[in-house]
Structure 1
Amino acid sequence: MLLTAILAVLRRVARGERTDMWPFLLIIVLLAVNGFFVALEFALVGSRRSRLEPLADAGDRSAIRALAAMKELSVQLAGAQLGITVASLLLGLIGEPAFAHFIESVAHHASWIPQGWIRPISSVIGLLVIVFAHMVLGEMVPKNLTLTHPESVLKIVSGPNRLYLLFARPLVIVLNWFG
């Protein structure tokens, strides 16, 4: 019966009926943003100057940026923590209701579920789905990838992070001061 309900929702999508996919696209973006900042955090802590300095001496601009980021570790880590926190909060704010709404629309086709239980069950399942996605895709995968090659990752993420800090630096400095 549940499979039938899922297929009914998918048929609606296939027929072009209105479905709001924007929250799910935003969830993907927020998972990527969270993963970016997690990778940055672990790359900053795990990178060795001795591996980046020869590359920087040879003119590798990304290695030069990575070393510059390592020189202001406290601000860089605070910026990463701000990015992780904001992405995580937005992920919960947008993700749980999006998945709960989808599950609710599927569950309404399952006659064996009491109608009064559909919303709370959908909310719990939606929260579990978003927590799982956040933990695995937004935290563990970027962490594990970064721990194997921290210098390479730092060379990649230090450029975009530099742009982020152009805007966020004042807030990051204030937060870091309070910390």
Structure 2
Amino acid sequence: MTITLSEILVTVLVLAALLTMNALFVATEFSLVKLRFTRFEEDSLEQARKSPMIAGMLDHMGATLKVVRLGVTTCTIGLGFVFVPLTLDLLRSTGVAWGVWEVRSALVVSFSLAVALHFILGELVPRALALQFPARTLRISSWPVRITRVFSGPFLNLLSWGSGLLLRIFRLNSRLDLNLIDVEAQIRSLVSDGDEMPPLAEKMLYNVIDLRKRVAQDILLPRNQIQFLDLEDAAETNIELARKTGHTRFPLCEGDLDRCIGVVHIKDIFRSSVPYDRIDFRKIRREILRFPAHEPLESVLQRFLRQKIHFALVIDEFGGAVGAITLEDILEELVGEIQDEFDREEALIRPLGEGRFAVDGLAPIHDVSDEIGVPIEVEDVSTFGGLITSELGEIPSANDTVILGRLEITILRVDEKRVLHTEVSVLPPDEEGDEDSEDKF
């Protein structure tokens, strides 16, 4: 059977139509993300929203993206459904008795060509146009999406019902309209590629996304650095401790942190009508929260805000206190270091030039990794000093030099409990003796 020229032209037109529709669906998705998740020019955005169709797509983004995903899936399958038969018909029309391997090779070549066309013309080009001209692109692509939504409505509702039923069977969240991983990647890409967003807002946005990956252990104040009020000490001793440290909240304990019975706020001490030397801290204590070391910071923040509490202990799997965490600690993960007029803290990590850094032993490991540009992947320790002690199995001596991965660490000061100050030099990959090694700790 010989394929005619008119049949070839019709098939090519069908392929072009499917490729065009796929490009429009992809352009719609990225235009919506660009307009929804970035600070786009207000005039252009308002102009775009004058179209009721575009305004509806922006306001009901989840439903629109379902139509888009259905359209992309249909067009992708349709391209293969049309392209492969076209290849076979062209082979038969030559009149040559093709062998099995020749036919398979031709199909592989045609499949590769279809993938290349789909990837370049159906994905990359419309994505670039959508990110550069989102409002203009959406005006063009909104009509095909709207028409598709009208005609595919019943089928899409059936698919939504079926997928919702399947998700409920597996006890998964059926209310998620967006793929959060895709949105996160798109937000990062849109922010880094554009210049519309102020640097502080860009930093905060990245920090909000990264907060989902952090746990309480990452930012806690280690146990041996916590100042607490001890009921076994005299009231005057505890008051003097509060005066010297200048903190506003103190754990109230019976001997040690593992026997913490609450938290005392300095304002409650001042408000007490009882003389300081006779104050009963048990009567003015407040509830104290306890979080597991691997509790996500997002969950900790929600509990703090919901219960209007600023201080909590972090405990291990046996219930022992390993440190403390405050609301301010979490907020600093979002907006950066927060200091008031009473703070006299020096930066925990200071660049010294030429790949050298002064690093305090209390510096969080993830902050050290971000600052020096070398990934550090460890568990069970949260501070840089704790990392050194954990790797060596002991507290090093002053002036010792330690090589950990690509980090040359000079110990400057220690005490009997921990590493206080260090100087870190980042070694080039070839100095590790392995030029092919990855750039990480």
Q: Is the shorter-chain TM-score for this pair beyond 0.5, marking a shared fold?
A: yes
State the Cα deviation string for residues 126-148 of structure 1 (Å, max 9, x = none).
11111111111111111111111
Identity %: 28
Q: Could you tell me how far apart the structure 2 residues matched to 1:165 and 1:74 are? A: 13
* Corresponding residue to 1:175 among 152, 159, 162: 159
Instruction: Report the structure, 1 or 2, having the larger helix content.
Output: 1
Match for residue 128 of structure 2?
A: 144
**Number of corresponding residues:** 156
Equivalent in 16, 34, 37 of residue 25 of structure 2? 37
Aligned mates of 2:20, 2:14 — CA distance in 1: 10
Q: CA deviation at 1:153?
A: 0.9
Structure 1 residue 53: deviation in Å? 4.8
TM-score, normalising length from structure 1?
0.73
Cα pair distance change 1:65/1:40, threshold 3 Å: same
- Quote the Cα distance in structure 2 between the aligned partners of 1:142 and 1:107: 40
For residue 54 of structure 1, what is the aligned residue in structure 2?
46
Q: Does 1:75 align with 2:63?
A: yes
Q: Which residue of 1 aligns with 2:4?
A: 18
Q: Structure 1 residue 69: deviation in Å?
A: 0.8
Is the aligned partner of 1:117 residue 2:101?
A: yes
Distance 1:150 1:175 in 2: 29
Structure whose CA Rg is larger: 2
Counting strand residues as a fraction of each chain, which structure ranks higher? 2
**Structure 2 unaligned residues grouped into runs of 5+:** 165-441
Alpha-carbon displacement from aligned partner over 1:15-56 (angstroms, at most 9, x marks no partner): xx8333122221111101111111111111111574555326
Q: Greater relative contact order: 1 or 2 (C-alpha under 8 angstroms, separation 6 or more)?
A: 1
Contact 2:48 2:135 (8 Å CA) reproduced: no
Summarize the Cα distance change of 1:18–1:174 in structure 2 as closer, same or farther, 3 Å threshold.
closer
1:170 shift after superposition = 3.2
Extract unaligned runs of 5+ from structure 1: 1-16
Q: Deviations over 1:40-93 (max 9, x none)?
A: 111111115745553268xx43xx321221100000000000000011001111
Kindly state the Cα deviation for residue 165 of structure 1 after the two structures are TM-superposed.
1.4
Relative to structure 1, is the Cα distance of residues 105 and 125 closer, same or farther in structure 2, using a 3 angstrom cutoff? farther
TM-score by length of 2: 0.32
